[in-house]
C-alpha cells in the first residue's frame, strides 16, 4: 500500500513536470513550424510593405534593439546603486527588508501601469509624444528588480573574507567596492541584465501608448515625436488581423524572430544565473 | 571474523564508493556481530559517515555517488535489485551529529516513524512513547509537556528526542554518526548512558573520533585510514581493542 | 588574486583623499529615485482618478454598467472578469506547478533538474504577446470546440483567457515552489528517510509543511501576475463590456466574452478618454484599483516569503 502510493506520487509529480516541459515544446514547436518558412534574409533586412502582408521587419528589429539598449543603460547604474545599498551599506535587517519589499513591489506592478504612467508623464505632461526614450526608460524601470536581485544575490554570496582581507589592507569601503565587490559580482549583473532584457524585448504593454507605432518609423533622430517600430507591437497588431494568410505567415515569422531574440538572451544567462541563485539561497 | 561470535547482522564485502571516478571509500570489509557496539574510528574525511550511510542505503539520497561491492543484512544483499530501502531503514535506524527534530510537538516527533509504518496499534502509542523516551533517558525531563514544541528543547534534549524517535521504530541496528560531538557534556553523558543500556539488545555502529568515548562504549573497533585519497580499513589501535572495564560489567 | 594590494603607502593615502563618499551618495540616490518612482506612480493614479471618486463615488466599484458617453462608470463586471480569469488560471497552474516542483526538487537527479528548470525559465521568458498569438490561433478554436455543446457565441471567453494565463503563470508557481521546497534543510529529509519513510511520505509530512509559507507566497505572486496580465488576455477575452452575470456562481460567464480591469485599460478607450476629465479619471481609476489589488497581494506574498526564510 505504501509502496503503491509512493510510486503513484512519483508518477503524478513526474507527469506534472512533463506537462510543463510539454507545453513549452508544443508552443515552441507550433511557432517554429508556422513561422520558420517566413524567416529569410530578406525578411530581416526589408521594411514593412502592404500593412504587414509583405516585406520584412528590419526596422521592427532595430526599434526593439534601440528600446532594450536604452533599458539597459537606464537600469544597470540604478541596479548597481540599489544593490550596493542592500548588500553593503544597509546594516540593519529591517532596512534591508524594507528595500527588498520596495523591489518586490516594483516587480509586482503590472507592466501596463508602467505604460500608463509613461503616457501621462512623458507623452502628455512633458509633451514628448511617442518616443523611444520613454519606452526605454519605462522598460528599464520595469526590469530593474530582475537585474538588482541578481546582483544582490551575487554580492551576498561573496565570501566575507575577501572583504575583510581588503579592509585589512587599509582600503576604504569605497575602494573595496570598486576593486573587489563589483569586479567579483559582474557575473550577477550580466546574467540579471540579460534576463531583464529578454523580458523587456518581449513586452508590449509599457510601450503600447508611449513609444511604438505600427508602421512609418525608421531610426529616430531626436526625442520628441520619435517613435520606433518594435517586434512585439507588430505581433500584437497583426494578431488581431491574422485571418489574411499572407499576414499570418508574417506574424509567425515575427514571432520566431522575437522568440529567437528572447530565447538567445535567456539561454546565455540561465545556466550561470540558476547556479548563482542556488548558491545564494541554499548555501 | 563472523564465526567468532553469533551470526553477523551486517557484513560489508569489498565495498567502494565513488564520486564520479574519484573513490571516497575503497575495498571496505567489515563484519558487525549481533548485539555489539562497534566503534568506527578514523580521521575526518576518511569517509566514516559515508560508510555508515551505506549500511542503511541513506547514501542513495546523495546524488552523484556510485556504490560498488556488497552489504549484507542477515545474509541478504541490501543493494540487490529487489531490496526495499525504506523497509531496510525502518529496521536500521540512524542518528546524526546534529539533531534533526521536526517542527512539531515532542509526542509527534516520537511517533513520527511509527505512524507511517503502521505497525503499532494506536492504543499502544502512549506506552510506546514512554518506553522510547525512557530508553533515550529523556522521559523524566519531558513527561509533563509531551505536547510542547520539540524545537523548544535544548540541543542535548533534541538529540535524545531523535534517539527516542529512532528507538520507537524498534530497530535491530542503530547507526550513530558522532551523536555526542555537538552536545554539552551532560547531554553527551546521558546519550552515552542510553547507548550502554541498549547494548546486547540491539546492534550499534558508532562513528566517533573521540577515542575515550570508543573506549567507554565499544566492544569492537574498526579504523578507517586515508590511503591515496580514499578511506580504507586500517589496523585498529591495539589499546582500543581491549574492552573497557565498565563495558564488561554491564 | 581578486585585488591587487597597493604597493606604496603614499599611493593609498592619495586614493583616500576624497572626503565625499561618492559611491555611498550614488547608492542612496539610486534607491531614492526608485522609491520616488513607485510613490509617484501611486500618487499619479490617485490624483488623476480623483474626479471619478468625487463624482461617481462608491457606485464606481459597485455599479455594473459602463457607458462612457452617458458618463456611467461601473467597474464591477471588470473586477469580476479579472477574478474569474485569475481563479481559472490558479486552478490550472497551482496543482501542476506544485506537482512539477516536487518532482524537480525532491525526485529528479541534479542534471535533469537543471534541464527542467532551464526549460521552465524559457517558458517564463516567452513574451505575453506570443502567448496571445497562440491563444488567438489555437486555443480560441479548441475552447470553441470544447464548449460547442453549450453553443457559445465565440471562442473568446473568460475560460480561454483563464487557460492562457494559467500557462503563463505556471513557471512562476513552479520556480518559487521549487525554491521553497529546496529551502527545507536536507537533514530533515535524511532524518525522515532514516526512519524508513518513503519519498512521498517525507514530502507530505516533513517537506511540504515546512515549505508551506513559501508555496503560499508563490501562489500569491502568481495571482498578482495573472490579475495584471494585459496583452494575452486582451487578445482572447472578447472585451465585451457590461457582462454582469445573473447568477454569480453559475459557470455560464466562463463561456462568454468578458472584460478584465487590465484588458479594459489596454483598449482604445484609453486613447479616446484623455480629453474628457471624468472619463479619463474613470480609466485611471481602473489602474488604481489594479495597482491596489496587485500591491496588496504582492505585499502579502512578501510577508509569507520572508517568514519562510527566517523560520
Predicted pLDDT at C274: 85
Is the CB of residue A2 less than 8 Å away from at least one CB of chain B? yes
Cell of residue A155, nine digits: 554580492
| pLDDT given at position A134 | 94
Nearest residue of C to residue B115 by CA position?
C197
**Shortest CA distance from B116: residue in chain A:** A2
Torsion (CA) C244, C249, C255, C256 in degrees, nearest 10: 0
Give C-chain residues touching B89 at CB under 8 angstroms: 193-196
Question: Which cell numbers in the block locate residue B83?
Answer: 531490496
| Cα–Cα distance measured from residue A167 to residue A176, given in angstroms and rounded to the nearest whole number | 7
Q: Quote the CA–CA distance of A276 and B59 in Å, as a whole number.
A: 26
CB C160 within 8 A of CB C236: yes
**Interface residue of B57, B73, B86, B94 to substitute, partner C, most C CBs within 10 Å:** B86
**Residue B204 near residue B36, CB atoms below 8 Å:** yes
> Is the ipTM beyond the 0.95 threshold?
no
Cell of A163: 572583504
Q: Where are the alpha helices (DSSP H) in chain C?
A: 9-16, 22-48, 50-55, 59-62, 76-102, 110-125, 128-134, 140-147, 158-182, 186-194, 199-202, 208-228, 231-236, 261-266, 269-273, 277-310
Domain count, chain C: 1
Mutate to test the interface with C, among A13, A79, A236, A257 (most CBs of C within 10 A): A13
Q: Give the residue extent of every domain in chain B.
A: 8-100+172-234
**A5 CB within 8 Å of a chain B CB:** no
- Residue B41 grid coordinates: 574510528
Nearest CA in chain C to B56: C194
**C152-184 burial, b if ≥16 CB within 10 A, otherwise e?**
bebbbbbbbbbbbbbbbbbbbbbbbbbbbbbbb
The residue among C15 and B93 whose pLDDT is bigger is: B93
**What's the distance, CA A21 to chain centroid?**
21
Using the structure block, give the residue that is written with the C-alpha cell 516567452.
C126
- CATH superfamily, domain B8-100+172-234, is P-loop containing nucleotide triphosphate hydrolases (3.40.50.300)
- CB–CB of A13 and C103 under 8 A? yes
3-state secondary structure at position C268: coil
Residue C19 burial (CB count, 10 A): 5
User: Across residues B138-157, what is the average pLDDT?
Assistant: 91
C20 touches chain B (CB under 8 A): no
Specify the pLDDT at position C254: 80
Residues of chain C contacting residue A21, judged by C-beta atoms under 8 Å apart: 116, 119-120
| pLDDT for the residue numbered C17 | 52
Residues of C in contact with A282 (CB under 8 A): 182-183
Q: Report the greatest alpha carbon distance in chain B.
A: 55
Rounded to whole angstroms, what are the CA distances from B87 to B12, B31, B92, B101, C48?
19, 21, 9, 21, 67
**pLDDT at site B250:** 26
Per-residue pLDDT at A122 exceeds 70: yes
So what's the pLDDT on residue A52? 65
Query: Average pLDDT, stretch B97-111?
Result: 91
A240-249, B205-214, C25-34 — which one is most confidently predicted on average? C25-34
The predicted pLDDT at position C311 comes to 38
From the candidates C108, C195, C202, C203, which should be mutated to test the interface with B, based on the most B CB atoms within 10 A?
A: C195
> Is a pLDDT exceeding 50 seen at residue A125?
yes
Contacts of B116 in chain A (CB under 8 A): 2
Quick one: pLDDT at residue A248?
A: 77
Cβ pair B58:C195 closer than 8 A: no
CB contact under 8 A, A236 and C134: no
Mean pLDDT across B187-205: 89
Q: What pLDDT is stored for residue C275 in this prediction?
A: 83
Q: How far is CA B182 from CA B41, B96, B99, in A?
A: 17, 10, 9
Give me the pLDDT at residue A50, please: 66
> Is C200 touching B (CB cutoff 8 A)?
no
- Rounded CA-CA distance A210/A232 in Å is 14
Question: Which residues of chain A have a CB within 8 Å of the CB of C132?
Answer: 236, 239
Closest residue to B96, CB basis, from C109, C190, C206: C190
pLDDT (tens, 9 = 90+) of chain C, 311 residues, equals 444 444 444 454 455 555 678 888 999 999 999 999 999 999 999 999 999 998 888 888 888 888 888 888 988 999 999 999 999 999 999 999 999 999 999 999 888 988 888 888 888 889 999 999 999 888 988 998 988 888 777 888 899 999 999 999 999 999 999 999 998 999 999 999 999 899 999 999 999 999 999 999 999 999 999 999 999 999 998 888 878 887 777 777 788 888 999 999 988 888 888 888 899 999 999 999 999 999 999 999 998 887 644 43
pLDDT 10s digits, C50-108 = 999 988 888 888 888 888 888 889 889 999 999 999 999 999 999 999 999 999 999 99
User: Which CATH number covers residue C121?
Assistant: 1.10.3720.10
Q: Which residue has the cell 445573473?
A: C246
Choose between C308 and A37: higher pLDDT. Answer: A37
Strands B203-207 vs B173-177: parallel, antiparallel or unpaired: parallel
The domain ranges of chain A are 59-282
Q: Identify all chain B residues contacting A3, using CB atoms and an 8 Å cutoff.
A: 84, 86
CB contact under 8 A, B88 and C206: no
Query: Would the pLDDT of A242 be above 70?
Result: no
The domain containing residue C106 runs over which residues? 46-55+76-310
pLDDT at B127 over 60: yes
The string of pLDDT tens digits covering residues B23-66 is 888 888 899 998 899 999 888 778 888 999 999 999 988 888 88
Look over chain A and give the mean of its residue pLDDT values, rounded to a whole number. 87
> What is the second-level CATH architecture of the domain A59-282?
Orthogonal Bundle (1.10)
Selected residue with higher pLDDT from C135 and A158? C135
Length of chain C: 311
pTM: predicted TM-score of the whole model, two decimal places: 0.87
Q: Are C167 and C177 in contact (CB under 8 A)?
A: no
- Compute the distance between CA of residue A132 and CA of residue A226 in angstroms, rounded to an integer: 6
Q: What is the number of other CB atoms lying within 10 angstroms of the CB of residue B70?
A: 14
Write out residues 166-225 of C within 8 Å (CB-CB) of A: 167, 170-171, 174, 179, 182-183, 198-201, 203, 221, 224
C-alpha cell at C23: 559611491
Give residue A105's pLDDT.
Answer: 94
Tens digits of residue pLDDT in A9-20? 999 999 999 999
d(CA A186, CA B141): 54
pLDDT band at A24 (very low <50, low <70, confident <90, very high): confident
Which chain A residue has the Cα nearest residue C29? A81
Considering only A105-114, A168-177, B109-118, which range has the smallest mean pLDDT? A168-177
- How far from chain centre, in Å, is Cα A63? 15
What Rg, from alpha-carbon coordinates, does chain B have? Answer: 18
pLDDT in the model for residue C229: 92
Quote the pLDDT of residue A61: 92
A168-177, B118-127, B140-149, C1-10: which has the minimum mean pLDDT?
C1-10
Amino acid at each position: 500500500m505504501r509502496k503503491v502510493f509512493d510510486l503513484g506520487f512519483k508518477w503524478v509529480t513526474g507527469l506534472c513536470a512533463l506537462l510543463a516541459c510539454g507545453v513549452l515544446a508544443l508552443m515552441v514547436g507550433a511557432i517554429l513550424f508556422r513561422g520558420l518558412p517566413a524567416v529569410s534574409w530578406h525578411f530581416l533586412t526589408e521594411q514593412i510593405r502592404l500593412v504587414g502582408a509583405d516585406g520584412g521587419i528590419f526596422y521592427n528589429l532595430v526599434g526593439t534593439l534601440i528600446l532594450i539598449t536604452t533599458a539597459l543603460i537606464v537600469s544597470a547604474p540604478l541596479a548597481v546603486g540599489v544593490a550596493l545599498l542592500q548588500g553593503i551599506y544597509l546594516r540593519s535587517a529591517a532596512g534591508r527588508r524594507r528595500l527588498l519589499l520596495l523591489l518586490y513591489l516594483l516587480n509586482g506592478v503590472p507592466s501596463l501601469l508602467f505604460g500608463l504612467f509613461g503616457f501621462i508623464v512623458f507623452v502628455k505632461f512633458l509633451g514628448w509624444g511617442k518616443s523611444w526614450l520613454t519606452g526605454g526608460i519605462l522598460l528599464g524601470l520595469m526590469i530593474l528588480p530582475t537585474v538588482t536581485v541578481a546582483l544582490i544575490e551575487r554580492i551576498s554570496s561573496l565570501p566575507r573574507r575577501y572583504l575583510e582581507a581588503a579592509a585589512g589592507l587599509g582600503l576604504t569601503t569605497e575602494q573595496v567596492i570598486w576593486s573587489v565587490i563589483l569586479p567579483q559580482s559582474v557575473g550577477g549583473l550580466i546574467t540579471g541584465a540579460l534576463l531583464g532584457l529578454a523580458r523587456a524585448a518581449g513586452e508590449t504593454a509599457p510601450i503600447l501608448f508611449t513609444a511604438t507605432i505600427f508602421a512609418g518609423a525608421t531610426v529616430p533622430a531626436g526625442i520628441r515625436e520619435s517613435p520606433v517600430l518594435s517586434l512585439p507591437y507588430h505581433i500584437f497588431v497583426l494578431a488581431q488581423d491574422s485571418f489574411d494568410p499572407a499576414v499570418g505567415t508574417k506574424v509567425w515569422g515575427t514571432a520566431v524572430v522575437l522568440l529567437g531574440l528572447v530565447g538567445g538572451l535567456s539561454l546565455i544567462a540561465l545556466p550561470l544565473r540558476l547556479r548563482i541563485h542556488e548558491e545564494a539561497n541554499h548555501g | 571474523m563472523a564465526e567468532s561470535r553469533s551470526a553477523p547482522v551486517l557484513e560489508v564485502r569489498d565495498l567502494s564508493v565513488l564520486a564520479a571516478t574519484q573513490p571516497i571509500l575503497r575495498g571496505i570489509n567489515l563484519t558487525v556481530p549481533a548485539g555489539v557496539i562497534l566503534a568506527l574510528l578514523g580521521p575526518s574525511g576518511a569517509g566514516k559517515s559515508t560508510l555508515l550511510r551505506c549500511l542503511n542505503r541513506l547514501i542513495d539520497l546523495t546524488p552523484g555517488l556510485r556504490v560498488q561491492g556488497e552489504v549484507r543484512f542477515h545474509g541478504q544483499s541490501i543493494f540487490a535489485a529487489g531490496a526495499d530501502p525504506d523497509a531496510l531503514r525502518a529496521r536500521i535506524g540512524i542518528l546524526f551529529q546534529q539533531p534533526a527534530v521536526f517542527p512539531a510537538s515532542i509526542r509527534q516527533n516520537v511517533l513520527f516513524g511509527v505512524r507511517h509504518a503502521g505497525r503499532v496499534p494506536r492504543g499502544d502509542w502512549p506506552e510506546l512513547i514512554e518506553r522510547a523516551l525512557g530508553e533515550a533517558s529523556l522521559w523524566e525531563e519531558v513527561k509533563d509537556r509531551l505536547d510542547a514544541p520539540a524545537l523548544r528543547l535544548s540541543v542535548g534534549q533534541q538529540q535524545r528526542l531523535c534517539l527516542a524517535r529512532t528507538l520507537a521504530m524498534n530497530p535491530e541496528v542503530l547507526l550513530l554518526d558522532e551523536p555526542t560531538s555537538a552536545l554539552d557534556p551532560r547531554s553527551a553523558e546521558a546519550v552515552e548512558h542510553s547507548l550502554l543500556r541498549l547494548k546486547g539488545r540491539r546492534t550499534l555502529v558508532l562513528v566517533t573520533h573521540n577515542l575515550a568515548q570508543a573506549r567507554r562504549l565499544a566492544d569492537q573497533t574498526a579504523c578507517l585510514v586515508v590511503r591515496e585519497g580514499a578511506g580504507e580499513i586500517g589496523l585498529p589501535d591495539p589499546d582500543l581493542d581491549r574492552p573497557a572495564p565498565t563495558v564488561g560489567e554491564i | 588574486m581578486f585585488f591587487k594590494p597597493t604597493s606604496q603607502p603614499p599611493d593609498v593615502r592619495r586614493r583616500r583623499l576624497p572626503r565625499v563618499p561618492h559611491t555611498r551618495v550614488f547608492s542612496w540616490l539610486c534607491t531614492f529615485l526608485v522609491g520616488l518612482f513607485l510613490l509617484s506612480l501611486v500618487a499619479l493614479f490617485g490624483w488623476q482618478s480623483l474626479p471619478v471618486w468625487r463624482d461617481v463615488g462608491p457606485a464606481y466599484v459597485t455599479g455594473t454598467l459602463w457607458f462612457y458617453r452617458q458618463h456611467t462608470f461601473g467597474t464591477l463586471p471588470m473586477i469580476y472578469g479579472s477574478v474569474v480569469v485569475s481563479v481559472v488560471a490558479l486552478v490550472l497552474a497551482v496543482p501542476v506547478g506544485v506537482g512539477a516542483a516536487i518532482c524537480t526538487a525532491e525526485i529528479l537527479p541534479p542534471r535533469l533538474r537543471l534541464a527542467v528548470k532551464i526549460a521552465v525559465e524559457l517558458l517564463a521568458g516567452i513574451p505575453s504577446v506570443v502567448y496571445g498569438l497562440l491563444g488567438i490561433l489555437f486555443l480560441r478554436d479548441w475552447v470553441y470546440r470544447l464548449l460547442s455543446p453549450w453553443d457559445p457565441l465565440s471562442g473568446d471567453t473568460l475560460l480561454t483567457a483563464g487557460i492562457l494565463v494559467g500557462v503563463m503563470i505556471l513557471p512562476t508557481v513552479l520556480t518559487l515552489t521549487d525554491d521553497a521546497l529546496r529551502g527545507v534543510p536536507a537533514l530533515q529529509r535524511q532524518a525522515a528517510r532514516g526512519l524508513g519513510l518513503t519519498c512521498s511520505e517525507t514530502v507530505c509530512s516533513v517537506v511540504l509543511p515546512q515549505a508551506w509559507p513559501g508555496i503560499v507566497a508563490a501562489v500569491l505572486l502568481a495571482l498578482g501576475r495573472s490579475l495584471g496580465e494585459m496583452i494575452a488576455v486582451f487578445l482572447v477575452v472578447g472585451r465585451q463590456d457590461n457582462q454582469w452575470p445573473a447568477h454569480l456562481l453559475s459557470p455560464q460567464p466562463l463561456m462568454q466574452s468578458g472584460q478584465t480591469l487590465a484588458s479594459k485599460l489596454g483598449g482604445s478607450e484609453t486613447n479616446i478618454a484623455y480629453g474628457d476629465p471624468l472619463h479619463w479619471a474613470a480609466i485611471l481609476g481602473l489602474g488604481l484599483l489594479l495597482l491596489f489589488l496587485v500591491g496588496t497581494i504582492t505585499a502579502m506574498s512578501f510577508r509569507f516569503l520572508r517568514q519562510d526564510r527566517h523560520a
